[in-house]
Amino acid sequence: MINSKNTLPILDCFLFELEDGTLSVTVSDSETTMVTTLEVNESDANGRFAIVAKTLLDALKEIPEQPLTFDVNVETYEVGVQYQNGKYSLMAQNADEFPQSVTPGDNSVRVEMDAEILLGGINRAIFATADDELRPVMNGIYFDITTEDITMVASDGHKLVRCKTLAAKGNERAAFILPKKPATLLKNLLPKEQGSVSIEFDERNAVFVLASYRMVCRLIEGRYPNYNSVIPQNNPHKVIVDRMQLIGALRRVSIFSSQASSLIKLRMQENQIVISAQDIDFSTSAEETQICQYAGTPMSIGFKSTFLIDILNNISAEEVVIELADPSRAGVVVPVEQAEDEDLLMLLMPMMLND
């Protein structure tokens, strides 16, 4: 969570605030702030101070699990940490320099989501976000909230993920773009959480309240592109294939693809899919045939193998449907059986084949 190069030196610190036996620990990089609370065994006064995070973490991880006693002099900022057979001495800093946490304005929108559903959406979408300095709106996960459902979308222009859940909804139409860093923090925290997550946001900031954490983050401002307009509505050619077998074939064949393009070719013919790749520079090639369900006219399409493997890895169904129109139009990948209350769709732009 802590940046390696912070503009404010105080942001290299943990902020500790002790009040009536509850210790809250805050960390921030000025864009994203995370707070967690824990009960202390005993304390004799309230107070707040900041300690450089790296020193503290490096020191504490060398001590086996045991109770620790912190003695803090709030006037000189000297800190003593006592453990079973030793002690550390270090200096704290004035907590007043730590930036105040923001709260969403009066016009904020609030939604509730089950922790598991939020995690599922973030897990499946985050790989498709972009790193585009010119179009920052593409660098996050777009939350599209309606009175019937919530859709999480991510795209980098080559691949797109649309994960819609009917198990959560808003009271009004609203949307926000969650940056990649807070999304990654949530991805790491949510597996340990049960129950629901409350999200409150305005046009600039969002607050996520979990059972034991509170995260405030700056949102990406701007208008997200109309993602539904790029999803083809009826791709006539449909291939049903075993997901894990296809991933295995793609991994094996892609070793022989051109390192510059990672291009692999899929050729569909009656109940067969031929996966092939070649690297003309090194005179290497590979081809593998797999059984699938396909009844359309034979056709070939090229994809970047790493992107297609990513997409297949982020779907959990045993079988997937690859829906295609022609070699120049986007392919759509969906699970054969959607999970309950869910509509998951992934899209991949093709690469031109030379033949």
Q: Which pLDDT tens digit goes with each residue over 178-193?
A: 999 999 999 999 998 8
**What's the pLDDT tens digit per position in 151-184?**
999 999 999 999 999 999 989 999 999 999 999 9
In whole numbers, what is the pLDDT of the chain averaged over residues?
Answer: 91
Residues 330 and 251 placed together within one structural domain of the fold: yes
Q: Which residues, other chains included, contact 123 with Cβ-Cβ below 8 Å and sequence gap of 6+?
A: 187, 314
Please compute Rg for the chain using Cα positions.
25
Domain boundary among 170, 205, 229: 229
User: In this model, does residue 58 exceed pLDDT 70?
Assistant: yes
Of the residues 199, 214, 229, which one is the last residue of a structural domain?
A: 229
Predicted TM-score of the model (pTM) = 0.89
Q: Between residues 22 and 74, which one has the greater pLDDT?
A: 22
What 61-67 contacts at long range (C-beta under 8 Å, 24+ apart), as own/partner pairs, is 67/41
pLDDT at 41 over 90: no
Please check whether residue 102 lies inside any domain of the structure. no
With a cut of 80, say whether residue 68 has pLDDT above it: yes
Both 169 and 248 in one domain: the answer is no
**338 shares its domain with 275:** yes
Same-domain status, 121 and 171: yes
Same-domain status, 26 and 38: yes
CA distances from 180 to 14, 191, 219, 279 (A): 22, 17, 10, 34
Q: Across residues 33-47, what is the average pLDDT?
A: 88
Mean of pLDDT values over 136-157: 95
Please check whether residues 212 and 278 belong to one and the same domain.
no
- Is 235 within 8 Å of 323 (Cβ atoms)? yes
Residue 354 belongs to some domain of the structure: no
**Total residues belonging to the chain:** 355
Segment among 95-104, 201-210, 261-270 with least mean pLDDT = 95-104
Q: Is residue 2 one of the residues assigned to a domain?
A: no
Q: Which domain holds residue 180?
A: 109-229
Residue that terminates a domain, selected from 207, 229, 251 = 229
For 228, counting Cβ atoms within 10 Å of its Cβ (0-12 exposed, 13-18 middle, 19+ buried), the class is exposed
Please give the structure tokens belonging to residue 119. 């995690």
Number of folded domains in the chain? Answer: 3
Residue 251: count of CB within 10 angstroms of its CB: 11
Cβ-proximal residues to 120 (8 Å cutoff; 6+ apart), any chain: 163, 165, 342
